[in-house]
């Protein structure tokens, strides 16, 4: 999937980056390309947009596959529960077939907890979590807070 047409040199670089066997130092390779800075930056922007589009497509595919996997797992659980209840109703502990033997197995007992009644000694203390949103709001208003400060940074914008 090519969102933008890339010059041959940049296309070759993209191809190398996708080949896991090719260890490519991106910065070194880009430095070796001798073009006017405007042309170079334009082509790098094309690479970024193409890679962003591919990453977005992969993320969407991951989500689609995760949804499909969860649905299959739910179906497996449902079929297992159905088979278990069918065997229990029939009073059978084991059914031997030509390919599989299906049976009821007793699991290790599991712990059921009511935290409201549980003694404190069985609770694991959690480390405190920083409220960065509140810190940001207070620092923006000019409040001085030891151990916290606002730090400006910049990022690349491609429009």
| pLDDT per residue as tens digits for the range 18-39 | 665 454 566 566 666 666 667 7
pLDDT in tens, 43-60: 788 888 988 998 999 999
Residues of the chain with pLDDT below 70 are: 1-10, 14, 17-37
Provide the strand spans (E) within 67-119.
Answer: 94-96, 101-103
As for how many domains the chain has, the answer is: 1
With CA atoms as reference, report the closest residue to 48 among 104, 8, 10, 95.
10
- Which range of residues forms the domain containing residue 25? 1-101
Burial label for 46, CB within 10 Å (0-12, 13-18, 19+), is buried
Asked if the structure places residue 154 within a domain, the reply is no
Structure tokens at 130: 């920083």
**Is 114 domain-assigned?**
no
Decide: residue 132, CB within 10 A, 0-12 exposed, 13-18 middle, 19+ buried: exposed
Q: Is residue 68 part of a domain?
A: yes
Q: What is the pLDDT of residue 31?
A: 64
Does residue 137 form part of some domain? no
Q: Is residue 93 part of a domain?
A: yes
Q: 73 in a domain, yes or no? A: yes
Residue 37 belongs to some domain of the structure: yes
Q: What is the pTM of this model?
A: 0.61
């Amino acid at each position: 999937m090519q969102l933008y047409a890339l010059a041959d040199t940049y296309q070759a670089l993209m191809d190398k980056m996708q080949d896991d066997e090719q260890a490519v130092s991106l910065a070194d390779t880009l430095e070796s390309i001798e073009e006017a800075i405007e042309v170079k930056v334009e082509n790098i922007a094309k690479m970024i947009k193409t890679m962003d589009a591919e990453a977005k497509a992969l993320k969407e595919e991951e989500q689609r596959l995760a949804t499909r996997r969860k649905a299959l797992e739910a179906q497996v659980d449902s079929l297992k529960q159905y088979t278990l209840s069918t065997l229990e109703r029939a009073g059978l502990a084991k059914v031997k077939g030509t390919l599989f033997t299906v049976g009821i197995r007793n699991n290790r007992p599991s712990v059921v907890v009511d935290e409201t009644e549980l003694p404190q000694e069985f609770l694991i203390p959690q480390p405190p979590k920083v409220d960065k949103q509140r810190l940001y709001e207070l620092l923006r208003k000019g409040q001085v807070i030891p151990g916290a400060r606002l730090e400006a940074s910049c990022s690349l914008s491609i429009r």
